[in-house]
Structure 1
Amino acid sequence: MQVPFLDLNKQNQQIRKELDAAYKRVMDSGWFVTGSELEAFEQEFATFSNVKFCIGVGNGLDALQLLLRAYEVGPNDEVIVPSNTFIATWLAVSQTGAKPVPVEPETTTHNIDPSLIESAITSRTRAIMPVHLYGQPADMDPINKIAEKYGLIIIEDAAQAQGAMYKGQPAGSLGHAAGTSFYPGKNLGAYGDGGAVLTNDVVVAEKVRKLRNYGSKIKYQHDITGFNCRLDEIQAAFLRVKLAVLGQWNNRRREVANLYSELLGDIEGITLPWLKEGCDSVWHLYVIRTKQRDALKEHLASLGIDTVIHYPIPPHLQGCYCEQYSENLPIAEQLAKEVLSLPMSPVLSDKEAGYVASSIRKFIEHR
C-alpha cells in the first residue's frame, strides 16, 4: 500500500466544484490584487479567529516580519523565540535587524517552555514569539503573564494552528497579534504562497496594511517605507472555499490522531504526542519520537509509507546562524535526532492509518 504524507490532490477533489467556481469568479471580475475577494476573506478569517482585523500578506514569513516592523522592533532589540521551530520564526526577527534569542522547548509538547523564558529576558528584549507547533497552542497563560510583567509584545506564530484552541480561545487571538501561513501543506492552505496577520489593534492593523503595499494606503501616496507583500485575489478566493470546510477537515485530523494514539499507545520505544490540558490541537502534524528514527523512516519508506522530519536541523545549527550561536541547545538538538512525522491529512483513511501503525509495530517488535 502507498501512503503519501499529505495527499493534496485527493483533498482538493472534495471541493473541486467550489474551487472551479471561485477561479471563474476571479477571472470574470478582471481584478487580481487587493480586491473584493481579499476583503471578504479577511473578514471571514478574522471572524473565524475571533479577532477584529485580518490582513492578507504574501506568506507566513512576511506576516511575522511585518508585525515586528509594525511594533518598531529593530536593530539592538531582542526577540525570544523557540529553539525548536521552522527557521522562518527566526528569519522574521533577523530581517528587522533584531536578534533571535532561543528558549528550549518542553519535552512533552515540543512547544516553548514558559518556565525558561524569564531567564532569557534582558534590557533589550522587546517581544516573545511563541510558536503553536504541530497544531497545538503553546501554553499562553504563563507567557502572557511574563509579557505583562516586563512590558513585552507577544506575537504568535500560528502558521500550523488554524482552528486550534487554547482554553476556549482560537490560536491567533492569544497575544497582541499573530502571523499565520497558508503554504499549501498547512491545514488552511493556498495554491501557492500566502499568509495573514491577525490582531485586535487598529493601529497595528493599519500599519501592516501600509507595509504590505509599498507603504501606501492611497494609491501613489507612500507614507512609510513599505514592501510588496500582498495576498492575491485568486488565493483569497480559494482560501474562502477551504475555510468553509476547515472545521470538518480539522475534525477528521483529530480522528486520525486519536486512531494513531490508540494503535500505537502500548509500543515500547515510541513516544507519542502529548496534549496539554486546555489545548485542542488541529493536528497539523502527528509527531512521534524514537531513538531508532532513521531506521524506522527507512523501513516505512520501503513499505510505501511517506514520512517527514520536522525538523532535522535546529535553527541555531543552520549555516546562516551557527557562527552567531555557540551555546548548546540540547533539547532542540535531541528532538532533531528523534522526531518523525507520520502521514496526516483530512483524507487519510482508517485503513491507511492502520497500515502505518501496524508497520511501526512490526518494526519495533523485530528489532
Structure 2
Amino acid sequence: MDKIRLLFALFSMFIGGCNLTRDAQYQTAYEAEIQGDDGRAFQYYLRAAQDNGYPEAQFSVASMYLEGRGTRQDTGQAINWFKRVTSAGDPVWSPLAHLQLGAIYQGQFGEQHLDQSQAAEHYRACAEQGDEECARLLALLGRPPALPSPSVSPAIPAIGGVPPPGSAAVELYARREPSVYKIVVYERLGAGLEPISLGSAIAIDPYRVITNYHLVKAGGVPVSINTQGEYVREGDVLVWRVIKTDPRRDLALLELLEPNRQLVFTDAIKSYSQVRVGEKVFAIGSPAGLEKTLTEGIVSALRNDRGVRLIQTTAPITYGSSGGALFDAEGRLIGITTKGIQAGGNFNFAIAVDEVQAFLAE
C-alpha cells in the first residue's frame, strides 16, 4: 500500500511539474540565445512552443524559421507558427504576429509568398487591436484616391475656424494650408548639417507627401519643421525618407520616419481633362523659404512636355515653391508646382495630378 502511494505521489509530481518544465525550457532557450547558441535556443523554444498556451515561445520559433537562425530558413514554417500565435489571441503576441505576417505577404522576405490582400488582412487585424504601426502600413497599402467626376466636389471641413463669408481665397487657405509642408534637404558635413535644397510638399495620406524629384536627387535627409510658434519643439520636426522617385515626371514620394505621427492631407483632386484655360487657381508653397505662402493666378495654358502633362499658370512659382500644391477655386488639387521662368515674362508650371496618380499606381 505504501508503495502504491509512493508511485501515485511521484506520478502527481510529474504531472504537476509540466508547466514548470515548459517555463524552464523557455528560460533555457532564452539564455542560450543571449549566449549566441541559436541551435540550442531553437530546440528549447520548440519544446516550449508545443503548448498552445505559450505564444511567446511560438513567436520565437516562427522568427527563427523566418531568419534561418538555429535552424534552416523556412518561410512556410514561419507562417504556420505565426498563425498559431494569432489564433491564440494573446493581446501582446497576436498583434506582433499579424505584423510579421503582413510583412511576409507584402514581400519583405522574398516574393514567394507575395499577396497584398493577405498583407492587408493581417495589418487590419492588428490595427483593430490598437497597433499604430499596423494602421500606418495598412494605409500605405491603399491605392491612390480615384479621380472625382466633374460634377462632384468632395466636401472638406474648414480647419482653423470659419473664414469671413465671400472670401474664397481665405476659405481655401484655411482648408488646404495644413496639408502643405516646407521641405529642407540636409547633407551631413563632418559634425554638422548643411542644407542643400529647399522646396515644398503636399500630403496625400496620413503618412506620405509628394514633392519634386529635383529636390531629393542629390541625396541627403528631407526635414520639415511644422510649427507656427516662436519656439521649435521636438514634436514639430518631421523627418522623411524617400521611398519612390520618377525623374521623368520630376516626382518623389516621401514617407514619415515616425510611425506614430499623422499628417493633415488633401484627397480632393481634379483631373487634367477637367482643367480649363482661364480658370482661377491658387498655389501654396514656400517661396524663398517663406513657408505656407498663398499665391493666386489663372491657368494660362495646358502643355505636354515629352509625355508629361503640365499646367501653365500665372500663379508665381519661385525657388522654394517646387513640390508645392496648385488648387482650383474649389480647393481641389490639380497639380504639383515644379518651376517658374520669370525672365521675359511670368511662366510657371505644375505637374498635372493625373501624373501623380500614374506615378503612385506604378
TM range (shorter): under 0.3
**TM-score (structure 1 length as normaliser):** 0.22
**TM-score (structure 2 length as normaliser):** 0.22
* Larger RCO: 1 or 2 (CA < 8 Å, sep 6+): 1
Higher percent of residues as strand: 2
* Greater C-alpha Rg: 2
